[in-house]
Amino acid sequence: MYSEILIEHFSNPRNVGVIENPDGYGKLSSPVCGDLMEIYIKVEDGRIADIKYRTFGCAAAIASSSIASEMVKGQPLEVAAKLTDEDVAAALGGLPEAKMHCSNLAASALHLALEDYYQKHPEARPKG
């Protein structure tokens, strides 16, 4: 049912934790299953210098958080902002249809953290 990479990220999740005084913070829960995700980002020179998350949910939700954090860590904010649910699911080797909402949490919570950052630092928001 799950790919080897999903099982690996669930068994050994990366970047778990909390960043004190984050530059951006996003929190989202799934109305479908009740999973909850929090994402914290630190931004330096227009890049995600650090990212941490806490996820309360199923294996797919935890793996989605882990792989999404790896995909954007060190990346420019503009690249991180383009991360989609489909990107996360594809990086995990696909998700069963019943678990696609889990990948939605990772990208959406990241976008909330980016929006929080831009609200605090409007001068950093990309033009156009």
pLDDT tens digits, 77-122? 999 999 998 899 999 998 877 766 666 789 999 999 999 999 999 9
Q: Where in the sequence numbering do the catalytic residues fall?
A: 33, 102
More confident site: 40 or 103 = 40
Q: Please indicate, yes or no, if residue 104 is contained in any of the structural domains.
A: yes
Read off the CATH number of the domain in which 50 is found: 3.90.1010.10
Question: What is the tally of structural domains in the chain?
Answer: 1
Does the structure show a pLDDT above 70 at 45?
A: yes
Q: What is the Cα–Cα distance from 116 to 118, expressed in whole angstroms?
A: 5
Q: Please indicate, yes or no, if residue 127 is contained in any of the structural domains.
A: no
Does the structure show a pLDDT above 80 at 9?
A: yes
Q: Band of the pLDDT at 65, cuts 50, 70, 90?
A: very high
Q: What is the Cα–Cα distance from 21 to 76, expressed in whole angstroms?
A: 20
Q: Please indicate, yes or no, if residue 69 is contained in any of the structural domains.
A: yes
pTM of the complete model? 0.92
Q: Please indicate, yes or no, if residue 84 is contained in any of the structural domains.
A: yes
Q: Band of the pLDDT at 55, cuts 50, 70, 90?
A: very high
C-alpha Rg value of the chain to the nearest Å: 14
Tell me what pLDDT residue 66 has: 97
pLDDT (mean) for 56-81: 95
The range of the structural domain enclosing residue 54 comes to 4-120
Over the stretch 11-32, which tens digit does the pLDDT of each residue have? 999 999 999 999 999 999 987 7
